[in-house]
Structure formats: C-alpha cells, structure tokens
Amino acid sequence: MIRLLKTPFGWCGIVFDADIIREIILPAPDKRKILERLRHHGSKTPNAKFRPGHHVTEVLNNLKRYFNGEKVDFNTPARYITTLIWSSKFERSVYKTLMAIPYGRVQSYQWVAQKAGRPKASRAVGNALAKNPLPIIIPCHRVIKSDGSLGGFSAIGGTTLKEKLLKLEKAL
C-alpha cells in the first residue's frame, strides 16, 4: 500500500504492507514526482481505505513531527522494516551505523566506512546510502564529505533537500 504525507517540505511517499515499512520517498513539492517514484510498486494512487498497522501509523506520525521541526527518535524495530533483508551484509552494517548518528549531528563517509568495518570503502558507503530504502529512519542525510561539503544525495531535490534536512536538525 501507499500513503502520501503532506509536509512543509512537500509530499512524502510511504510504501508499506500491513505493519511492515517497505520504502520512504523523501518529500518533493510536486505530488506527481512522488507518485512517479512509487510506480514500480504496482500502485499509482494511495489507498485511503487500507488502514496501516500500529507501527506504520507511528512512523507516519513521527515523519509528520520530524518535518515540522521536532526532534524525533525513529526507534522502529527491525521486524517492521523488512526491506533491509534485501540489502547486502555491508549495506546493513552501513545502515546500522547510520542509525547511531544522533539527530542534529553529521559524520563523514569515511567515518561510516570505518565503523562499518571497511575503512577504505567510502565510495561503497555512498553507494549504500543511494540505495537506502528508509531515509530519515536510516538518516543518510547526516553523512557528509570529510572536507565538510555535503557530498551527494539521491532523493528528489538532491543536495538542496539534504541541506534543508540538516538545517532543520540544526546540524549546519
């Protein structure tokens, strides 16, 4: 199922099944861009009749709060984000490392690579971040280059959105 969420940053998309979160599409001002990104899931429109389970509802509420500038702890149990089973062992290690970066803080790609057990794999960290199915819950926007510049960001809006998220968290 798909839910669209209106935020101050634009429309956000969430893909879920019952109480399992599959993917989060970060906000874009144009709802059609979000729907385009979601087409590969087989649905073109959200299903308002389908009620998400407790954990999905909690994530939706936390995303609303987050985009309204509240500090939110996304402590979603792993069993509700099974999308990660499709990730490689290294990607899961990267995602686990990202979840340890506190709200309002940033770390470098190199730092993440070291913590994930592959100190020379900064580029591989960037590739894992580009595949991150659950941005914000797995805060890939908190990873920047060692020189302090933003690096890349694969969401709609690119590094402009990354910068807005970091400013929202007062990390820049």
- In tens, the pLDDT along 143-154 reads 999 999 999 999
- Domain-ending residue, one of 67, 95, 113: 67
Whether 140 is a known active-site residue: answer: yes
Q: Pick the catalytic residue from 12, 94, 140, 143.
A: 140
Decide which of 40, 67, 94 is a domain's last residue.
67
Say if residues 104 and 171 touch (Cβ distance below 8 Å).
yes
Mean pLDDT across the chain: 87
What pLDDT sits at residue 41?
Answer: 57
With a pLDDT cut of 90, the percent of the chain lying above it is 58
Domain stops at, among 67, 102, 119: 67
The verdict on 154 and 92 lying in the same domain is yes
Instruction: Tell me the residue range of the domain where 42 lies.
Output: 2-67
User: Could you report the per-residue pLDDT of 88-143, keeping only the tens digit for each?
Assistant: 889 989 998 998 999 999 999 999 999 999 999 999 999 999 999 899 999 999 99
Compute CA distances 143 → 11, 14, 136, 152, whole Å: 23, 22, 12, 9
Q: How is 110-133 classified by DSSP, letter by letter? A: HHHHHHTT-TT-HHHHHHHHHT-S
The string of pLDDT tens digits covering residues 1-28 is 888 899 999 999 988 877 778 889 999 9
Q: Based on the structure, what is the number of domains in the chain? A: 2
Query: How crowded is the C-beta side of 155, counted as CA atoms within 13 Å?
Result: 30
3-state secondary structure 27-70: EECCHHHHHHHHHHHCCCCCCCCCCCCHHHHHHHHHHHHHHCCC
Cβ-based burial of 135 (10 A; exposed 0-12, middle 13-18, buried ≥19): buried
Q: Residue 75's CB: how many other CB atoms inside 10 A? A: 9
